[in-house]
Amino acid sequence: DFLYPQGTAAGTHGTQIRSLLLPGAAIIIAIRRDDKLVVPYGDSVLEGDDRLDLLVERKRLGELQAGREIAAR
């Protein structure tokens, strides 16, 4: 799971996932929202308490863990 901290650019309500700048070949495989799994599409919009399930290369995992932020374009 990856939880966007409140107040980051990507964590704000209304950001489309296609706008996220993910490291390497990271892929969003699911959005966890209110105890439900949502299949992500490019035009899927993040909500405040969303959690993202990501598939990411092990060598790039540190980039996510270090800052816990992913920028939006």
| DSSP of 4-61 | PPTTSTTTSTT-BGGGB--STT-EEEEEEETTEEE---TT-B--TT-EEEEE--GGGH
Provide the pLDDT for residue 40. 93
Per-residue pLDDT tens over the stretch 19-71? 887 777 778 899 888 899 999 998 999 888 888 888 887 777 777 666 555 55
3 DSSP 8-state letter: E
pTM (2 d.p.): 0.69
Six-digit token string for 34: 């209110």
Is residue 6 very low, low, confident or very high in pLDDT (cuts 50, 70, 90)?
A: very low
